[in-house]
Amino acid sequence: MAEQASIHGLWRSRWLFILAATGSAVGLGNIWKFPYITGENGGGAFVLVYLACICLIGIPVMIGEVVMGRMGRQSPINTMKALIKDNGGNPAWVGIGWMGALAGFLILSFYSVIAGWALYYVFQMMSGEFAATTAEHAGEVFGGLLGDPGTLMTWHTVFMILTIAVVARGVTKGLETAISILMPALFVLLIIMMGYAMASDGFAQGLEFLFSPDFSKLSWNSVVVALGHAFFTLSLGMGAIMAYGAYLPSGHSIGKTVVTIAVLDTVVALAAGMAIFPIVFSNGLEPGAGPGLLFQTLPIAFGNMPGGILFGTLFFILVSFAAWSSSISLAEPVMAWLVESKGLNRFKAGVLVGLIAWVLGIGTVLSFNEWAEIKLFDKTFFDTLDYLTANIMLPLGGLLIALFVAWVMRQDDVKAALEVENETLYKAWTVTVKFLAPLAIVFVFLNGLGVFAFG
């Protein structure tokens, strides 16, 4: 296929693509979600399955997504159309693009609410609310926030405006400088937190919880959650990475680039776990406390360490920023499509996307208070969105992407676009996207649905 041009601009270098894609990958998924689902799913064994999913399924699928984006050089929907046309595939494959756009909306709607919690905590930290705080007080502050739809709405609104302000300008501008400073800063702060955790009584217990697997605690549902989270944390299966790949200049090995992103993402998640679990055990908290885990543990640490107000404020600023660079990528696939196919300018497209996601987000806000008792299959509105997107839509999208890149696209084109440096690794990748990853995803799905009686 002939090399296409992107109308949305290109990243200025491979390194900026890595930063942007890492900015997309590293977010609430790593710092907020990974620790609490690890806590809910029993620790070590879950972490092991999650790591296996990243290596065996996540990385290969991500390579596929980047390659498809770079070959199509458009929004995921139009990239799919171009690739289908060029390879003579069935038009129904464009569903990958549509499902991804929908998943992006749904995720953005609740992501913005949770990121709003982080924004709120910046100011709580700054005010000294957590000085010498106890676990009990930290729990009360968090409970107070969840019970207050007005405050939740305010910060949800602020975060959504921040997101749209960037996408309206175009992601390849603006974002680049910010990411290259703030991502490393977040990392340094996590190391400081790990240092603090290391000195606490619960450190050994925290590490044991994270890294010593007890498979008796693992259910098939936990495996479904681990697989879903591998997709969520790498921003896979909904076109975000495809959209960013569309702006990747040619001339670089995609495999190496992707492995770098996946390693950075995993390191941040593990660091967050290592900072949080020692505090959980030192303070007799419950590892399975759920979505509030981050917000109920770290304030205790910040409240009781020297310079805690400063570090705590900085930490939540950086978490908000990590969430920001992810939410931008959630909006980008649909943004690019509105610009290409509906003739909107980026500003109008941004307002439209932001407004729809904002309205949907109201459901998540209410699911923590007014609607807390309204449940479908024992799940609140927020739980349902989270489960539907991360555990069903993203893995399904990933499955289709693997199948498309391996079975529909001409393999010599794909190989050329990958700029393969190592023949053996290329062969291993081909086998994985052709057979291994799709079979593994289907297997996990079927077991998760309880179709097989192995569970």
- What is the b/e burial string over 51-68, where b = at least 16 CB atoms within 10 angstroms of the residue's CB? bbbbeebbbbbbbbbbbb
6, 38, 112, 329: which one binds ligand PHE (CB under 6 A): 329
Task: Please give the Cα distance from 198 to 206 (Å, whole number).
Answer: 9
First to last CA, the chain: 45
CA dist 317 → 37, 116, 274, 322 (Å): 23, 11, 20, 9
Q: Does 364 bind ligand PHE (CB under 6 A)?
A: no
CA dist 220 → 46, 359, 436, 440, 450 (Å): 11, 34, 19, 13, 8
Q: Does 326 bind ligand PHE (CB under 6 A)?
A: yes
The smaller minimum CB distance to ligand PHE, of residues 163 and 447, is found at 163
Q: For ligand PHE, which stretch binds (CB under 6 A), given 23-31, 60-68, 159-167, 279-287?
A: 23-31
The smaller minimum CB distance to ligand PHE, of residues 74 and 235, is found at 235
Tokens 């939410």 sit on residue: 327
Chain residue at closest Cβ approach to ligand PHE: 29
Query: Number of residues in contact with ligand PHE, rule: CB under 6 A?
Result: 15
Q: For ligand PHE, which stretch binds (CB under 6 A), given 312-320, 322-330, 379-387, 438-446?
A: 322-330
231-250 binders of ligand PHE (CB under 6 A): 232-233, 235, 238, 240
Q: For ligand PHE, which stretch binds (CB under 6 A), given 26-34, 71-79, 90-98, 245-253?
A: 26-34
58-117 binders of ligand PHE (CB under 6 A): 107
* Cβ-based neighbour number of residue 76 at 10 Å: 34
Q: Does 22 bind ligand PHE (CB under 6 A)?
A: no
- What is the b/e burial string over 405-419, where b = at least 16 CB atoms within 10 angstroms of the residue's CB? bbeebeeeebeebbb
Q: For residues 41 and 276, is the Cβ–Cβ distance under 8 A?
A: no
16, 19, 21, 28: which one binds ligand PHE (CB under 6 A): 28
Q: Does 320 bind ligand PHE (CB under 6 A)?
A: no
254, 330, 396, 400: which one binds ligand PHE (CB under 6 A): 330
Question: Residue 370 corresponds to which tokens in the numbers above?
Answer: 């007014």
Q: For residues 126 and 309, is the Cβ–Cβ distance under 8 A?
A: yes
For 145, residues 6+ apart whose C-beta sits below 8 A from its C-beta are 117, 120, 151, 152, 295
CB of 27 to ligand PHE, least distance (A): 3
CB of 187 to ligand PHE, least distance (A): 15
27, 44, 350, 448: which one binds ligand PHE (CB under 6 A): 27
29, 97, 206, 278: which one binds ligand PHE (CB under 6 A): 29
User: What residues line the site for ligand PHE (CB under 6 A)?
Assistant: 24-25, 27-30, 107, 232-233, 235, 238, 240, 326, 329-330
